[in-house]
Amino acid sequence: MRPLLLAALSLALAACAHGGGAREAAPQRDYYGTLEPMASEAVYFVVTDRFVNGDTGNDQREQGGPDPDARSFDRPVPGAPAGESDNIGYLGGDFKGLLDNAGYIRDMGFGAVWLTPIVDNPDEAFTGGDAVTWGGAFQDRGKTGYHGYWGVDFYRLDEHLPSPGLDFAGLARGLKRHGLKTVLDIVANHGSPSFTMRKPQAKYGRIYRDGELVADHQNLAPERLDPAHNPLHRFFHNERDLVQLSNIDDTNPAVMDYFVGAYSQWLDQGADAFRIDTIRHMPLAFWREFAARMRAKRPGLFMFGEAFDYKPENIAPFTWAGNGGVSVLDFPIKERLAEVFGKPRADYARLEERLYLQGGPYANPYELMTFYDNHDMPRLDASDDGFIDAHNWLFTARGIPVIYYGSEIGFERGRAEHAGNRNYFGQARVDAARSHPIRVALKRIATVRRDSPALQRGLQLNVSLHGDRAAFYRVYEHAGVAQIALVLLNKGDVPAQFAVGEYLQAGRWRAALGGGEVAVGEGGTLRASVPAHGVEVYLLDAPARRADLVAALDQAMARARKR
């Protein structure tokens, strides 16, 4: 995390600049929400096995053998209603399927791909725990490690993912050629399910280092482990955490060394950033040391964690510099996004208090990862218009937007895990998605963000968030680039008329979506009609010079410095 700085070298007013591209700013003033490079990149999140099967040769359909309880490929969840499905086996998605569609992802306006863990997972379905049922939760019997979160050898690539000539390093290089960064999902809190099996299963409950066994749960309940006397138990706590997953001992220095070594290897092979799974299940001290050691290897490495909690005060400490400075997925605002853009269609005002633009608990709210759903919760239950409205917000408001695969067509909307949330997408849906109205609208606003430094990194000043309308500024002025964006959002079913005068600087404002320019005089008002479920972004490529705007920006930067 980079702290926001107050540049107070001069209060002289800068001359107004006009025109097409972002122009040079007055060098004595800095206004920005963040300078974090990752803030420029909207993120597309894929469960790799469920995206596209580009190479059937790595499907490993024989794994698990003839035992129906252990086979690993294509395991439908029983009890599905007519016309619905869910699957807890491998379905074949791989690196080739992802790379084959890198252009599709980039074309939508994304600059990064977050993919699920790539490390080796068990080769059979799990026979312990509670049987998976339709719509159930915290159930793992019959499930496989298709998702990647059941690591057994964090130094080896899972065999379901690569193809001849295409390993992880090749994938990262290929994505980069398409203008996409690679965000790698990592786990340190747990390994695979480790006990309650009807008999010990190969790999389950074990941890290897490049093929060498370093730990084994031995199908024993955590309270039966004896780490003081059995070297194979020393990687584990002897108390339970998540279902039957091994609970890795964060206090053991060998554990830290193991994961630093493993994830250093994947950095060397091309990972650009990390998403940290279940970050709140390990103490802050662990992440402080882990972050320091990772950044000693890769200065400035951006990381964000999953702390599944809707209370800001519970997730904010991970972002503080003294705790490792790791960003987090913004669960508190996610909760409100589901209200505002899902079927309740709540008032925009529900979002304002969760922005924490000034004086909030986070080290920097502009570096939070903003999202409305993911693989661990029900997908957004919204109409096509609701998805469009949600994307218009995410790609203009503060934070780094994350979109879950398939959301560009409202795929499996409202569906939870074990009820379709992680279903296979496939090449046919990718090909058909290009003309889908959600994707068409997503591409329009994501492309505007991709081309706008203000929308990526600018301070946010709210004018009004009320009812079905929202109006706010994003302002960026740093290192010779200056841009002011005025965002107008309408999630209503009829066109909305806006008249904005507050903070409005004189100049020729260009409409990023509708085209054309609006000339605004000193003390003038910008009037615009925004269509139903629409957005307009007016851009002024000039440094801030209007007195009340400058005062508000100075105040925002001063408060940011105190965080």
Specify the CATH number for the domain of residue 537. Answer: 2.60.40.1180
Overall number of domains in the chain: 2
* Confidence bin at 482 (pLDDT 50/70/90): very high
Is 70 exceeded by the pLDDT of residue 239? Answer: yes
161, 57 contact by CB (below 8 A): no
- d(CA 109, CA 446) in angstroms, rounded, equals 5
189 Cβ contact partners less than 8 Å away, ≥ 6 residues apart: 241, 242, 247, 248, 250, 277, 278, 279, 281, 282
**Cα 443 to Cα 423: distance, rounded to the nearest angstrom:** 23
Instruction: Give a yes or no: residue 506 inside a domain.
Output: yes
Please check whether residue 17 lies inside any domain of the structure.
Answer: no
The rounded distance, in Å, linking the Cα atoms of 366 and 456 is 9
Residue pair 484/544 in contact by the 8 Å Cβ criterion: yes
Alpha carbon 468 to its chain's center: 26
424 and 498 part of one domain: no
Give the chain's radius of gyration (CA, Å): 24
Q: Provide the domain limits for residue 163.
A: 40-203+237-451
Mean pLDDT of 308-327: 97
Q: Is residue 7 pLDDT above 60, yes or no?
A: no
Q: Helices 384-394 and 437-450: crossing angle, nearest 10°? A: 10
Judge if 435 and 491 occupy the same domain.
Answer: no
User: pTM (2 decimals)?
Assistant: 0.94
Instruction: Decide which of 403, 425, 451 is a domain's last residue.
Output: 451
Q: How far apart are CA 513 and CA 306, in angstroms?
A: 34
Domain boundary among 451, 473, 492: 451
Is the domain of 421 the same as that of 470?
no
Q: Point out the domain boundary residue: 416, 433, 451.
A: 451
466 lies in the same domain as 406:
no
Q: Quick one: 426 and 485 in the same domain? A: no
Judge whether 517 lies within some domain. Answer: yes
Straight-line distance from the first to the last Cα atom of the chain, in angstroms, rounded to the nearest whole number? 12
Q: How confident is the model at residue 561 (pLDDT cuts 50, 70, 90)?
A: confident
Q: Which two tokens stand for residue 53?
A: 């099967």
In sequence order, what DSSP letters do the residues of 488-518 get, joined into one string?
EEE-SSS-EEEEE-TTPPSEEEEETTT-SEE
* β-strands 369-370, 526-530 pairing: unpaired
- What integer pLDDT is reported at residue 15 of this predicted model? 33
CATH number at residue 338: 3.20.20.80
290 and 171 together in one domain? yes
Specify whether 422 is located in the same domain as 484. no
- Dig out the tokens for 190 from the structure: 């747990």
Whether residue 310 is found in the same domain as residue 329: yes
On average, the pLDDT of the chain sits at 94
Weakest mean pLDDT among 3-7, 386-390, 441-445, 496-500: 3-7
Tokens of 97: 């399927």
Q: Give the phi and the psi of residue 498 in degrees, each rounded to 5.
A: -115, 140
Separation of alpha carbons 201 and 63, rounded Å: 13
Q: What local confidence, expressed as pLDDT, does residue 28 receive?
A: 62
